[in-house]
Chains A and B, each alone.
Chain A
Amino acid sequence: MTAQAVAFGGSSLEPAAASDALLAVTGLSVEYLTPRGPARAVQDVSFSLRPGEILGLAGESGCGKSTIAHATMRLIKDPGFITAGSIRFRDVEVLNMSSGALRDFRWRRVALVSQSAMNALNPVLPVGTQIVDALMAHERIGRRQARRRAEELFELVGIEPRRLRSYAHQLSGGMRQRSIIAMALALNPEVLIMDEPTTALDVVVQRDILQQIEDLQARFGFAILFITHDLSLLVELSTRIAVMYAGRLVEVAPAEELLMRPLHPYTKGLMNSFPSIDGANERLEGIPGAPPDLVSPPSGCAFHPRCPSCTGEDRSLYRLQTSSRPELQEVAPNHWVACHLYR
């Protein structure tokens, strides 16, 4: 629906640009039209995903993670618009695809595990039908065959195949999530976008599923864009991590590097709000303040109103922080950060 031909202007910044990238997003900007004016949900975001890689995308609620996920599959709907950028899959521009090519690209190349499993499943269709639908939309197979494929997929994610006939409300949360993963795997895609796949689940189920995702990934070798607001999950799972604030990437680094040496004050804040590993305590320390208004974000560094390093003691730094937006820069090998502290 948002088949927008966007002039993809070159952003000079390609923090993880690599010639072997499967998926390369460059300079992506997305706006939602609101009565108060456009909300810039995603601004000038660039990242790439290599085959078999797990890229984590973290950030507070409302920072634009899902928007990136949807934009990648060209799913942004009115009142949202992709205003700039380029999304290339194997060097083919997704934003320029014909509707037929787009349909083919979706799910076969890139599949989506959408944010809430409950809402992502159609309540009035049996889950099996929803998997069969995906199969039949892409492959020349009969219903019977598709059905058998679906059974295999269910077995793969550890659900009894007879549950294919169930409706979403008849499944447990974990089963729902697994059936969506099964659905996402139906066409053996090269990229899986997982938008908070475990958020609503209790910790035990969450671990199970994460384990399963890792196993499946090891087995099939797809790349994952793993979206979460919970940085701790990413640390275990992903190869690289991108941290997002107010529609922009603020730090990108290999997982261990980020864990050992977080640079951006916001990343540090997120680190401190890790839930303890046994899940006993929800938050050790949150980041004070509220996420910014995307219609009229703060000047300069969008994080400055909440930034502990923005004290005003250093007048010239303060002026910079409040008037000039820091750009992503590679401050260490493969470690990119957008903060005036690291000039």
Chain B
Amino acid sequence: MKYLARRFGFYLLAFWVAVTLNFLLPRLEPGNPLQYLQIRYQAQLQQNPHLLDPLKPVFDTQHGNILIQYVQYLVNLAHLNFGVSFSQYPASVNTIIASALPWSLFLAGSSAILAFLLGTTLGVVVAWWRGKPFDLTVTPLTMFTQSFPAFFGAMLILYFVGVEAGWFPLNHAYDYGVQPGPYIFGLPWSWNFITSVFSHAAMPVAALLISSLGGWLLGMRSVMINTLSEDYVTMAEAKGLSTLRVMFMYAARNALLPQVTSLAITLGYALTSLVLIETVFSYPGLGYQLVNAVLARDYPLMQALFFIIAVAMLIANLIADLTYSLLDPRVGVRSGAR
């Protein structure tokens, strides 16, 4: 209990820091959305110098006492009121988030889970048969694919799998014109829609997988190798348990503990690579919106997106903490003794 309270305190503090940074950063940065629009509409402005005039009063929001602004910001945050987007004015930030968030969750979630399952399982297997041909091919290969940036892999996939081979749609989250179909439990269930969504997600998910698989595999492999030399693994073998049971119930289960902590870190990583991958595939998620928001100096949208990322990271860490103490019975006691 004390352990949990302590962790909770930590997360609250981290939350406050994130929120405050989020308030300060746009105010410290030079430039404003209007200047961005001047560049974006430079050609149009040459012909029509007054194009942007109507928006001037709208974007001039950061004035007045900074403390009052801060309080106002906190109040708005408490109401999850992120205001109105500059770049997609007058759409509210919440509408934008609502349309983008599910896609990112879907992309990040499915790729993180796939990477975790696949990477960890492979890690277990290569550790068990370490030094054998399978280990000697798979391990260096994933080390290689992990070493280049996610978006690079994304471009290669886009080019070879999408453009050249033409196996999957090149962009967006589903085919234009496909109707989501009947909504049950708030989710669309039309078969066409679901297959469309999966074929569109294939390349982005593969890109995320490629870049994150190696981490899981290597992490699991090294912990697993340590674990395999533990007495309890030898004991499990001595007990005459099947190889699979020894591998997964006795060895992998322990080796998994550190992996769970890194799950949080990987989730954070997945969020950052999402930005680039959604851009490469024009996938309508948070990353796509973030690129546009940052380029457009769309502070309200940026703040909301960073807020979501910060909250997601904190939640991921919290979940990691909680699962860790669930999976490892020693954690609770140790901290109790502290």
**Which residues of A are at the interface with B, using a C-beta cutoff of 8 A?**
1, 70, 73, 75, 77-78, 99, 102-108, 111-112, 114-116, 119-125, 130, 133-134, 137-138, 167, 169-170, 183
Contact = CB atoms under 8 A, between A and B. Distances in A.
Given A114-B231, A122-B254, A170 B333 contact: yes
A124 B327 contact: yes
Nearest to A72: B238
A92 B74 CA distance: 77
Majority DSSP secondary structure for residues of A touching B: helix
A122 B328 contact: no
Interface string B221-238: 000000011111011111
B235 A120 contact: yes
A102 B232 CA distance: 19
B242 A114 contact: no
Interface stretch (B15-23, B170-178, B180-188, B245-253): B245-253
Given A78-B131, A122-B250, A124-B254, A138 B240 contact: yes
Nearest to A138: B240
A178 B234 CA distance: 18
Nearest to A167: B329
B241 A134 contact: yes
B330 A114 contact: no
B167 to A, nearest CB: 41
B330 to A, nearest CB: 5
B239 interface: yes
Given A124-B253, A170-B333, A134 B239 contact: yes
A275 B218 CA distance: 47
Nearest to A116: B231
A107 B239 CA distance: 5
Interface residues of B, number: 28
Contact of A169 (B242, B245, B333): B333
B330 A169 contact: yes
Interface in B235-272: 235-243, 245, 249-250, 253-254, 257
Interface in B304-338: 327-330, 333
A102 B241 CA distance: 10
Contacts of A119: 230-232
B334 to A, nearest CB: 9
A124 B234 contact: no
B234 to A, nearest CB: 6
A120 B242 contact: no
Nearest to B333: A169
Contacts of A102: 240
A120 B232 CA distance: 4
Given A123-B254, A124-B327, A133 B241 contact: yes
Given A133-B245, A167-B330, A123 B232 contact: yes
A111 B249 contact: no
A246 B48 CA distance: 94
Nearest to A79: B131
A133 B254 contact: no
Contacts of A103: 240-242
Contacts of B254: 122-124
Contacts of B249: 125, 133
17 contacts: A78-B130, A102-B240, A106-B238, A107-B238, A107-B239, A107-B240, A114-B235, A119-B231, A119-B232, A120-B234, A122-B235, A122-B253, A124-B329, A134-B240, A134-B241, A169-B330, A169-B333
Contacts of B240: 102-108, 134, 137-138
A183 B238 CA distance: 11
The residue among A103, A108, A112, A122 with the most chain B CB atoms within 10 A of its own CB is A122
Nearest to B227: A122
B174 to A, nearest CB: 42
Given A120-B231, A133-B245, A75 B237 contact: yes
A193 to B, nearest CB: 9
A137 B253 contact: no
Nearest to A129: B249
Which of B131, B228, B237, B330 is the most central at the interface, judged by chain A CB atoms within 10 Å of its CB? B237
Given A169-B329, A169-B333, A115 B242 contact: no
Nearest to B232: A122
B242 A137 contact: yes
B138 to A, nearest CB: 18
Contacts of A120: 231-232, 234-235
A102 B235 CA distance: 14
Given A112-B235, A130-B236, A133-B236, 15 more contacts: A73-B238, A75-B238, A99-B243, A107-B239, A111-B238, A114-B231, A115-B231, A120-B231, A121-B235, A122-B235, A123-B232, A123-B254, A123-B330, A134-B241, A169-B333
B248 to A, nearest CB: 12
A119 B231 CA distance: 5
